[in-house]
């Protein structure tokens, strides 16, 4: 099955929000809805958003999640980032003068588990380093890497909860995936594992 993936870039830090669905499906999932709602709504079209999957709980990746949650989408986040949903200091929204708070998640993801939504299965890889609860989602061979892996780069480890040693281990784990694996990062250009091999923290 080839996924249908629409990328909407937006928000104050140019986050990539992904609209993911099976071909021809009338439901979809959102990964990191930080881009402006109107632009994401255009990409969603007539489909129903069934789930909001967060790769981590920094404000820029979730600042436009609430409208979708209000329409019935389920919220998924790793337990170690759950507190940041409710705490503007932890989710860093105070850095832009905001006080972002989301409701409790509908489910907490964990390493080796999976989210089944919109007729798809998103395998969960816990990849701490950028935040304690950072995860990547692997669906139909595509990796949604959040702020763990970027094109020729990786996420910051100097923010609260960041950890260079954990990031090093997380990068090694992700880069062990097949070299043809496409990577959809939280910011910047799409890449693939084979292009990032040999990266060092």
- Residue 1's pLDDT is 65
Q: What angle do CA 55, 60, 63 make, to 5 degrees?
A: 95
**Domains of the chain, earliest start first:** 4-196 (3.60.15.10)
Q: How far apart are CA 15 and CA 146, in angstroms?
A: 9
Q: Which residue has the tokens 């990796």?
A: 143
- Residue 198's pLDDT is 78
- Residue 171's pLDDT is 97
pTM comes to: 0.97
Q: How far apart are CA 190 and CA 8, in angstroms?
A: 12
| Mean pLDDT split into 10-residue runs, the chain, 201 residues | 93 97 96 97 97 98 97 98 97 96 98 97 98 98 98 96 97 96 98 89 73
Phi-psi region at 130: left, alpha or beta (left = phi > 0; alpha = psi -120 to 50)? alpha
Between β-strands 149-150 and 153-154, what pairing exists: parallel, antiparallel or unpaired? antiparallel
How far, in whole angstroms, is CA 14 from its chain's centroid?
Answer: 13
């Amino acid at each position: 099955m080839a996924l249908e993936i629409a990328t909407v870039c937006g928000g104050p830090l140019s986050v990539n929000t992904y609209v993911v669905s099976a071909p021809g499906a009338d439901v979809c999932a959102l990964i990191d809805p930080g881009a402006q709602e109107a632009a994401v709504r255009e990409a969603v079209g007539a489909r129903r958003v069934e789930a909001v999957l967060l790769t981590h709980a920094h404000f820029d990746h979730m600042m436009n999640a609430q409208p979708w949650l209000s329409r019935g989408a389920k919220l998924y986040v790793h337990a170690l980032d759950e507190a940041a949903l409710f705490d503007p200091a932890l989710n860093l929204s105070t850095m832009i003068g905001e006080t972002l708070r989301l409701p409790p998640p509908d489910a907490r993801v964990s390493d080796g588990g999976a989210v089944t939504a919109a007729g798809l299965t998103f395998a969960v890889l816990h990849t701490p380093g950028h935040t304690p609860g950072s995860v990547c989602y692997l669906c139909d061979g595509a990796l949604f890497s959040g702020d763990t892996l970027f094109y020729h780069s990786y996420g910051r480890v100097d923010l609260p909860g960041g950890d260079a040693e954990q990031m090093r281990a997380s990068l090694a784990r992700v880069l062990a995936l097949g070299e043809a694996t496409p990577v959809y990062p939280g910011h910047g250009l799409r890449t693939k594992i084979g292009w990032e091999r040999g990266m060092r923290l």
